[in-house]
Amino acid sequence: MYEIISKRLIAPAVWRHTIKAPEIARKRQAGNFVIVRPITGSERIPLTIVSSDTQAETIDIIFQVVGATTMDLAEAKSIQDIVGPLGHPTHIENYGRVVVVGGGVGIAPLLPIAQALKQAGSRLTAILGARSKDFLILEDDLAPISDELLIATDDGSQGQKGLVTNALKPLLDKKAVDFVLAIGPVVMMKAVSELTRSYGVKTMVSLNPLMIDGTGMCGVCRCKIDGQTKFACVDGPEFDGHQVDFDNLTRRLSMYHAEEKKRKEIRS
């Protein structure tokens, strides 16, 4: 069992948990994730390690309540199982002028990578997107490390109204971008990648498909990268956004979501 040291609601249905996990706290790097099973018999879900404290021997995770498993996690006082750190750590270097783009809860995995890129000497512009100001997370964490912070909300309640690509395009037009990292909904990462492709700017995305074991054995998280089958859990989670088959990824996610909907209807 893993003790939950603290929990905080940071946006509607979005929680930040601090968990006692000494071994993971010591070994995690930017880009790593864990697979969590809140209670016996529950599903396994992948969640990015947002931060760690080696002295306190804790890690932080952020998640949105969207179903039974995440509801169990939100209500739990301890966690049955945590496996990690998993996935390839992010390749960090001084890329020069870097833009990190986060959408919704995708801002959570963006934070540790942005911190590492800044520490490596990159000039950092952060673009954060959300449905409204109420759903915007981690602005206070990213602002101190960003040379420039831009916000886009669907309703215009904070920052500029519209999509994150609307904020990114002027930077690309100025040729003021050497590298882009985008994390968020599939449709957002696809839009960012399609935009940067026309400018020839290297773009990485972090994929978060369904996972079961996190070791490449189950094959649930497979995706098409440059025409080849890859597994997000062991080959990723980060890939070249210009090589990701986003249409294939969307179809696979829709298939699993449709099956989950059927199961819920049967149970009800």
16 pLDDT more than 70: yes
Tell me what the mean pLDDT of segment 15-21 comes to.
Answer: 96
**Residue 93 in tokens:** 């270097």
- Please give the biggest Cα pair distance in the chain: 54
Contact assessment for residue 13 and residue 73, using Cβ atoms and an 8 Å cutoff: no
Can you list the domains of the chain with their CATH numbers? 2-86 (2.40.30.10)
Predicted TM-score (pTM) above 0.85: yes
CA dist 31 and 214 (Å) reads 14
Query: Mean pLDDT of all residues in the chain?
Result: 90
d(CA 88, CA 33): 9
Q: What is the pLDDT of residues 68-125, one digit of tens each?
A: 889 999 998 999 999 989 988 999 999 999 999 999 999 999 999 999 999 999 999 9
- Give backbone dihedrals phi and psi of 250, rounded to 5 degrees, phi first: -65, -40
Q: Give strand pairing partners of 161.
A: 153
The pLDDT of residue 248 is above 50: yes
Q: According to the model, what pLDDT value does residue 107 have?
A: 95
Residue 262: per-residue pLDDT? 45
Is the pLDDT reported for residue 266 higher than 80?
Answer: no
Three-class SS state of 178:
coil
pLDDT of residue 235 exceeding 60, the answer is yes
Tens digit of each residue's pLDDT (9 = 90 or more) over 174-230:
988 999 999 999 999 999 999 999 999 999 999 987 777 777 777 787 888 999 999
In this predicted model, what pLDDT tens digit does every residue of 31-80 receive, in sequence order?
A: 999 999 998 888 888 899 999 999 999 999 999 998 888 999 999 899 99
